């Protein structure tokens, strides 16, 4: 028996309200009960034989998402772009890159998705543009243009060096501009929270340039919301205002954005790439991710992870962080949890964690009171693929961006293009999983995920606002939801035993079960095992 966690006599009751509270928008409470699905458009489905996914490909597979139980889709950027950072270098905020389709295609996507009970969320890259964006091109011609953060020659060090993060002007305008990530991504000017005489280029947050940029982003959001988009995942949300150590001014900015949405598009939501829900949600966001940069996420999936076969992790780090975030937010539903994403969060099937370990992760992920985010392909256990070429500034992040595996046909059903013309190569393994095969196998990961999502949707005891009691935060992680469903999850390879102080255990009915046994108050969970037990008589 592995005993790295604490067995809690009488259980720990975490302070989650029994009553569903509204999100920031008057009608935006739908996010709390959502099951999110992230689509990397380049590699989801290609319908024109170009080797790159497109909007029509997403439309064609909405039935898969509806069957799975997905209620909202977050799409990575499809805006016009020179693609030095796979679309996060935007050259037109209100257009669609021709390789993906047209704005009419987006309108059809949002309409077809809504008919299936699915909302579409776009990526809002509010902190920077491409250096090819007309805004930046205009600023290269006009030394009085303050849409970006520029330092004139007299404001720069006399020795000719550039301050950290600054890039020499590539055009007629003299001086240098501040970048946000790559040199091709000039930072939009939202001002600085603090003035500094050593950096005379700084403008305050209420200067005309920063105010104009806030208005411009509202116009961008308004454009897409009127086309049927339901909200935005906000890229690098904590970085807009510079030198803001307590992020107070950044929080005020997003609070203004949220208030504008509440008045003009009350059903829309804002989700932040912030990484600290306890700060981001009170600032005005409807939800924020526990992301790969934080201990809560790492403790589950990455650094001596709880979901690791050696059984040396603990779920306590995550539980404590989640509890603290919920307390700070003051309502359930603001914490979003991915297992993977397009960036540096890898995949569950990561070359260390094996396919047989993944079902236990989903048993936890879809029964814990967070808003889950499934990265495309996770539902079938797509794997991390090493040794892929760098594409459009992927810079090592391409290993989890391989094409979606729909069937066992050419290119796994992703595209009719020649294999060497695909955006990225297909996983070369002959036994790679695919949707079609798993759909027909009741014992597959795909069908387990679909059943767990349906269970969550059909029983309020597994919903976001229902109580959770933690009996054991080691192996197996054992908790009670809504005083009805007992969940036991064992990500380790060894069989483990836990005692549960609930007299209803003897009459428990397995809802999902990988082979647990019950004797008195003890549950034995096999290696990589899990169970969802209904304790209701």
User: How much of the chain, in percent, has pLDDT values that exceed 70?
Assistant: 95
Distance CA 383, CA 391 (A): 19
pLDDT-derived band of residue 29, with 50, 70 and 90 as boundaries? confident
- The mean pLDDT of 166-190, rounded to a whole number, is 97
pLDDT at 341: 95
pLDDT at 102: 98
pLDDT-derived band of residue 2, with 50, 70 and 90 as boundaries? very low
Check pLDDT > 50 for residue 246. Answer: yes
Please, is 487 exposed, middle or buried when counting C-beta atoms within 10 Å of its C-beta (0-12, 13-18, 19+)? buried
pLDDT-derived band of residue 27, with 50, 70 and 90 as boundaries? very low
pLDDT at 7: 35
Crossing angle (nearest 10°) for helices 248-264 and 208-226: 40
How would you classify residue 529: left for phi > 0, otherwise alpha for psi between -120 and 50, otherwise beta? beta
Give the tens place of pLDDT for each residue, 388-447.
999 999 999 999 999 999 999 999 999 999 999 999 999 999 999 999 999 999 999 999
pLDDT-derived band of residue 98, with 50, 70 and 90 as boundaries? very high
pLDDT at 78: 98
How would you classify residue 160: left for phi > 0, otherwise alpha for psi between -120 and 50, otherwise beta? left
pLDDT at 23: 34
Check pLDDT > 50 for residue 24. Answer: no
Distance CA 98, CA 103 (A): 10
Distance CA 150, CA 159 (A): 18
Check pLDDT > 50 for residue 6. Answer: no
Q: What is the DSSP string of 183-204?
A: TT-BBB---BSS--TT-TT--B
Compute the chain's Rg from CA coordinates. Answer: 24
Residue 341 token pair: 């994403």
Check pLDDT > 70 for residue 210. Answer: yes
- The mean pLDDT of 493-509, rounded to a whole number, is 96
Query: What is the helix (H) or strand (E) element at residue 383, kind and residue range?
Result: none
Whether 481 contacts 467, CB under 8 Å: yes
Distance CA 81, CA 131 (A): 10
- The mean pLDDT of 42-57, rounded to a whole number, is 98
> 69: how many CB neighbours lie within 10 A of its CB?
23
Nearest to 387 by CA among 366, 402, 406, 372: 402
pLDDT at 407: 98
Return phi, psi of residue 272, to 5°.
-105, 145
Query: What is the helix (H) or strand (E) element at residue 289, kind and residue range?
Result: strand 287-289
- The mean pLDDT of 497-503, rounded to a whole number, is 96
Check pLDDT > 50 for residue 218. Answer: yes
Which domains are delineated in the chain?
Answer: 34-124+340-461 (3.20.20.80), 128-187 (3.90.400.10), 208-285 (no CATH), 467-534 (2.60.40.1180)
Distance CA 386, CA 151 (A): 41
- The mean pLDDT of 167-176, rounded to a whole number, is 97
Torsion of CA 115, 116, 117, 118, to 10 degrees: -100
Residues 223, 242, 335: CA angle, nearest 5 degrees: 65
User: How much of the chain, in percent, has pLDDT values that exceed 90?
Assistant: 92
Give the tens place of pLDDT for each residue, 255-294.
999 999 999 999 999 999 999 999 999 999 999 999 888 9
- End-to-end CA separation in angstroms for the chain: 30
Residue 525 token pair: 């969970």
Check pLDDT > 90 for residue 223. Answer: yes
Whether 67 contacts 451, CB under 8 Å: no
- The mean pLDDT of 202-211, rounded to a whole number, is 98
Give the tens place of pLDDT for each residue, 341-371.
999 889 999 999 999 999 999 999 999 999 9
pLDDT-derived band of residue 18, with 50, 70 and 90 as boundaries? very low
């Amino acid at each position: 028996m592995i005993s790295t966690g604490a067995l809690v006599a009488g259980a720990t009751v975490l302070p989650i309200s029994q009553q569903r509270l509204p999100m920031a928008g008057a009608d935006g409470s739908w996010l709390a009960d959502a099951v999110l699905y992230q689509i990397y458009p380049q590699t989801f489905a290609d319908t024109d034989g170009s080797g790159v996914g497109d909007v029509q490909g997403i439309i064609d597979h909405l039935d898969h998402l509806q069957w799975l139980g997905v209620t909202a889709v977050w799409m990575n950027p499809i805006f016009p772009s020179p693609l030095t950072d796979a679309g996060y270098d935007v050259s037109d905020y209100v257009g669609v890159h021709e390789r993906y389709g047209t704005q009419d295609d987006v309108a059809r996507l949002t309409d077809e998705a809504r008919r299936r009970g699915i909302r579409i969320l776009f990526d809002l890259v509010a902190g920077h543009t491409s250096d090819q964006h007309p805004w930046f091109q205009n600023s290269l011609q006009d030394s009085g243009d303050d849409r970006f953060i520029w330092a004139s020659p007299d404001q720069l060090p006399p020795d000719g060096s550039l301050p950290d993060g600054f890039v020499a002007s590539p055009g007629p305008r003299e001086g240098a501009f501040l970048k946000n990530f790559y040199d091709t991504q000039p930072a939009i000017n939202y001002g600085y929270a603090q003035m500094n005489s050593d950096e005379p280029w700084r403008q305050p947050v209420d200067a005309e340039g920063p105010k104009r940029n806030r208005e411009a982003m509202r116009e961008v959001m308004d454009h897409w919301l009127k086309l049927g988009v339901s909200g935005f995942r906000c890229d690098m949300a904590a970085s807009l205002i510079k030198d803001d150590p307590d992020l107070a001014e950044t929080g005020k900015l997003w609070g203004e954005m949220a208030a504008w949405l509440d008045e003009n598009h009350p059903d829309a939501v804002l989700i932040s790439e912030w990484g600290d829900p306890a700060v981001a949600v009170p600032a005005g966001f409807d939800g924020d991710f526990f992301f790969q940069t934080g201990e809560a996420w790492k403790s589950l999936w990455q650094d001596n992870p709880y979901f690791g076969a050696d059984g040396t992790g603990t779920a306590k780090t995550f539980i404590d962080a989640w509890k603290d975030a919920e307390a700070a937010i003051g309502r359930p539903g603001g914490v979003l949890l991915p297992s993977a994403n397009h960036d540096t969060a890898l995949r569950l099937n990561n070359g260390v964690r094996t396919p047989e370990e993944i079902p236990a992760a989903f048993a936890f992920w879809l029964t814990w009171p967070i808003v889950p985010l499934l990265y495309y392909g996770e539902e079938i256990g797509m794997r991390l693929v090493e040794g892929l070429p760098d594409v459009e500034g992927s810079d090592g992040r391409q290993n989890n961006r391989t094409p979606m595996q729909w069937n066992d046909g050419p290119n796994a059903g992703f595209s009719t293009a020649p294999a060497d013309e695909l955006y990225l190569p297909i996983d070369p393994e002959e036994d790679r999983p695919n949707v079609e095969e798993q759909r027909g196998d009741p014992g597959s990961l795909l069908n387990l995920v679909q059943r767990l999502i349906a269970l969550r949707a059909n029983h309020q005891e597994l919903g976001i606002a229902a109580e959770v009691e933690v009996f054991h935060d080691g192996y197996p992680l054992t908790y009670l939801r809504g005083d009805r469903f007992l969940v036991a999850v064992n990500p380790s390879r060894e069989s483990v035993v836990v005692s549960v102080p609930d007299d209803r255990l003897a009459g428990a009915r397995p809802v999902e079960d990988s082979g647990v046994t019950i004797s008195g108050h003890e549950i034995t969970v096999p290696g990589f095992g899990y169970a969802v037990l209904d304790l209701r008589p």
